Amino acid sequence: MANLATLHMSQQQEQTTDEPNPAIPPDLATELHMELDLECDCSRSFERQFCNAWCQVTHAQDSKAHAVECLHMAEADAALQLGAAAEANTELTEKLALMTISAQNSSGELSDAHNNLDIAQHRIDDYAQ
């Protein structure tokens, strides 16, 4: 980096005096210029890597937001289905209770009819004698 600063200062001097700087030999200037180019390439490479990482982070955040949105929609749908199932369960429980009462009443009526039939059968038997 010190070499880069030296090259930068020498370039400024060249621009102001338009005379070659005898303090920096041409080979060193070429070497410093190559080093500067290499550092610029590294800088551009790091910038590309940063942009790629930024894109990946942004994509991951978008994916997470979409997944969270899908989760909320699934939770809402599940809540609606549970509500409908609970309502259907209540309705079926009420129908089952009514059917149980109806079956009990029918059983009682059948028992009464059976008793009446037995009584009638005894009367028929009594008349037949």
Assign residue 23 a region (left: φ > 0; alpha: ψ between -120 and 50; beta: otherwise).
alpha
Residue 70 confidence (pLDDT) above 90: yes
CA distance 50 to 124: 107
**pLDDT band with cut points at 50, 70 and 90 for residue 50:** very high
When pLDDT is cut at 50, 70 and 90, the band that residue 18 belongs to is very low
pTM beyond 0.95: no
Nearest-angstrom CA–CA distance, 123 and 68: 81
* Whole-angstrom distance, CA of residue 86 vs CA of residue 80: 10
Query: pLDDT grade, residue 129 (50/70/90)?
Result: confident
- CB neighbours of residue 21 within 10 Å: 15
Question: 30-39, 58-67, 91-100: lowest mean pLDDT where?
Answer: 30-39
Which region holds residue 18: left if phi is over 0, alpha if psi is between -120 and 50, else beta? left
Task: Return the axis-axis angle of helices 26-128 and 2-17, rounded to nearest 10°.
Answer: 130
